Amino acid sequence: MAEPTYIRLDIHGQVCPSCLLLTLKALNQHCGAIRAGQVEIVVMTDDRQSTSTIPGAVSKMGYQAEVAILEGGYRIRIYGR
Amino acid sequence: MAAEPRQEKCLKMDSQEDRSVAIQYIRAKVDQLLTLMGTLPLRPEELDDATLIELDPIGIVAGSFEQVLAHLKQTNRELTLARNEIRAVFDAFGAAVIVVDKGDLVEDCNAQALDWFFFSADASQIIGHPLAEVCSCHERLLTSQQIGNRQVSEFIHDDRHYQVVISAILDEANQIEKRVYLYFDITAQKVTEEVLIAQATTDSLTGIANRRKFYSVLTAEMDRAERYQLPLAVMMLDIDHFKDVNDTLGHQVGDDVLEEMARLVSGVIRKQDVFARWGGEEFIIMAPSRDLEGMRQFAEKLRSAVESHSFHGVGRVTCSFGVAEYQPHESIEVFFSRVDAALYLAKGNGRNRVELA
């Protein structure tokens, strides 16, 4: 399987629920490709709340989310099954 | 909903006031949708009105809800398939299944359960009734043990041996929601076990107990004799000149003599005596509550019964007897060596006789 394309979403400085809305916007735009495994969204944020609201919301939509702690923030990887 | 009557107004948007009402309405609806998505409501200080309109939150959340619903539809479809799959297994399963709710009322049961426990009654006559009322099997448990979060019990019903495994089904808060009773017919397994135990403790030629069985019973009887200070005596008998029978008349005749000897002795001993084949042409008898003299008399009686019996194809056969009484605190090895010494003495003193140790 080919390596997926990553869409990087840098939302440093934004707080929830804007973070979630921006993430959802990207998810709505690329839903087919994400579900097919061609595209993944990588959200870079410094908002701690997003690390629970984003995975919670995207899992309701059938996506997987993976949170990593980085220096000065978090990386949330969102991908299809 | 509180925002509903304002809808008329916000459609017009011809004044600053109307615009602010419309924004309020959008914020309220977005908040409602965000709450449904499991996140926080919008805070005006984070998102000014212009950005709010530009961001199109209702559009975003509506798009996301479309995906939530699609995902839900897919999940439901998978769930229906899984449920049908479980139902197919449930009905075709070789075991009986009864599901009860937390109040022990029967919720469901499969065809096998109807057949085994409810005389093929209609499931509708069972469902909704207390399990104890429709099935009395659990009142007659033979064994019961807890293995992890399952209770495993055995019982006999209609001459069949069943094992029942009871599992609790927990809800999302880990509270017991239902219980699943899974019944297996283990009759065949039990019969096999019994046959195997019988094989392991019986002498295949004569059908009487073997050395292993004798050992285990004797050990228990020695404990009992010690604890209650009861006499316990053992006699060993050995067929005289048995080698000659085998050598001149053949092994088949020799085997016949052994079988006939086992029958003869079995007909003389008491119910509580234990009679076993020790090996070769040696037999052993344990007599609980008999002392040395009692055992000597018994051996004498046996000796004379054997001597006067005419064995098929051989005629007269005699036996030598060694008798000893168990001494408190004596080891089984020492006890046996004394019995053996008495038998050796009987052989040395001319055979067809009883000697004591």
| Chain B partners within 8 Å of A49 (Cβ) | 40
Choose among B37, B39, B60: nearest Cβ to A28. Answer: B60
Task: Report the C-alpha gap between B172 and B78 in whole angstroms.
Answer: 20
| Residues B320 and B347 placed together within one structural domain of the fold | yes
Q: How far is B56 from chain A (nearest CA, A)?
A: 9
Residue B33: pLDDT band with limits 50, 70, 90: confident
User: Cβ of B197: how many Cβ atoms within 10 Å?
Assistant: 11
Q: Closest Cα partner for B238 from B174, B269, B282?
A: B282
List of domains in chain A: 5-79 (3.30.110.40)
Looking up residue B345, the CATH number of its domain turns out to be 3.30.70.270
Across A20-34, B116-130, B253-267, B332-346, least confident range = B116-130
* Orientation angle between helical segments B251-266 and B292-307, nearest 10 degrees: 130
Residue B89: pLDDT band with limits 50, 70, 90: confident
> CA B130, B131, B133 angle in degrees (round to 5)?
70
Contact call for residues B233 and B326 (beta carbons, < 8 A): yes
| Residues B336 and B229 placed together within one structural domain of the fold | yes
| Residues B128 and B178 placed together within one structural domain of the fold | yes
pLDDT the model gives residue B238? 97
Contact call for residues B95 and B184 (beta carbons, < 8 A): yes
- Model-level pTM? 0.51
Last residue of a domain, one of B38, B60, B85: B85
pLDDT the model gives residue A1? 57
pLDDT the model gives residue B14? 66
Check A53 against B41: CB less than 8 A apart: no
Q: How far is A70 from chain B (nearest CA, A)?
A: 23
Check B57 against A21: CB less than 8 A apart: yes
pLDDT the model gives residue B12? 55
Q: Give mean pLDDT, residues A36-59.
A: 90
- Report the residue of chain A nearest B57, measured CA to CA: A21
Residue B197: inside a domain, yes or no?
no
Measured CA to CA in angstroms, residue B218 lies from B66, B163, B211, B282, B328 at distances of 80, 33, 10, 17, 14
Last residue of a domain, one of B164, B190, B216: B190
Residue indicated by tokens 């499991």: B38
pLDDT for residue A34 is more than 50: yes
What digits encode the pLDDT tens for the residues B101-122?
Answer: 999 999 999 888 888 888 767 8
| Chain B partners within 8 Å of A60 (Cβ) | 37-38, 68, 71
Check B38 against A28: CB less than 8 A apart: no
| Chain B partners within 8 Å of A57 (Cβ) | 37-39, 64
Top-confidence residue, A1 or B332: B332
Task: Report the C-alpha gap between B62 and B52 in whole angstroms.
Answer: 15
| Residues B209 and B170 placed together within one structural domain of the fold | no
pLDDT the model gives residue B2? 46
Counting one residue from A and one from B, how many pairs have CB atoms under 8 Å apart? 59
| Residues B64 and B171 placed together within one structural domain of the fold | no
Query: Which residue of the set B281, B282, B325, B355 is catalytic?
Result: B281
Range 37-66 of B in CB contact (< 8 A) with A:
37-42, 46-47, 55, 57, 60-61, 63-64
Check B60 against A49: CB less than 8 A apart: no
Structure tokens at B260: 């006939």
User: Cβ of B56: how many Cβ atoms within 10 Å?
Assistant: 15
Cα dihedral: B16, B19, B21, B22 (round 10)? 180
pLDDT for residue B24 is more than 90: no
Q: Let me know if B281 is a catalytic residue.
A: yes
Q: Which of B26, B27, B33, B39 to mutate to test the interface with A (most CBs of A within 10 A)?
A: B39
Residue A55 carries which side chain, given as an amino acid letter?
P
Range 12-71 of A in CB contact (< 8 A) with B:
15-18, 20-21, 24-25, 27-28, 31, 49, 53, 56-57, 60-62
Where b means 16+ CB within 10 Å and e means fewer, B302-333 reads bbeebeebebeebeebebbbbbbbbeeeeeee
Q: Give mean pLDDT, residues A27-38.
A: 90
- Report the residue of chain A nearest B52, measured CA to CA: A18
Residue B246: inside a domain, yes or no?
yes
Last residue of a domain, one of B161, B190, B219: B190
Range 63-102 of B in CB contact (< 8 A) with A:
63-64, 67-68, 70-71, 74-75
Residue B195: inside a domain, yes or no?
no
Residue B12: inside a domain, yes or no?
yes
Q: Is the peptide bond before B288 cis (omega within 30 degrees of 0)?
A: no
| Residues B15 and B140 placed together within one structural domain of the fold | no
Residue indicated by tokens 């003299």: B293
Task: Report the C-alpha gap between B47 and A14 in whole angstroms.
Answer: 10
Q: Give every strand in the sheet of A5-10, ordered side by side.
A: A5-10, A39-45, A73-79, A64-70
Q: Which of B46, B56, B60 to mutate to test the interface with A (most CBs of A within 10 A)?
A: B60
pLDDT the model gives residue B251? 93
Q: For strand B319-325 and strand B354-356, is the pairing parallel, antiparallel, or unpaired?
A: parallel
pLDDT for residue A81 is more than 80: no
Taking each continuous run of H as one helix and of E as one strand, the counts in chain B are: 12, 13
What digits encode the pLDDT tens for the residues B198-227?
Answer: 899 999 999 999 999 999 999 999 999 999
Domain residues for the domain of B143 are 93-190
| Chain B partners within 8 Å of A31 (Cβ) | 67
pLDDT for residue A2 is more than 80: no
Q: Where are the alpha helices (DSSP H) in B37-104?
A: 49-55, 57-92
Of chain A, the percentage scoring pLDDT greater than 70 comes to: 99
| Residues B46 and B114 placed together within one structural domain of the fold | no
| Residues B80 and B145 placed together within one structural domain of the fold | no
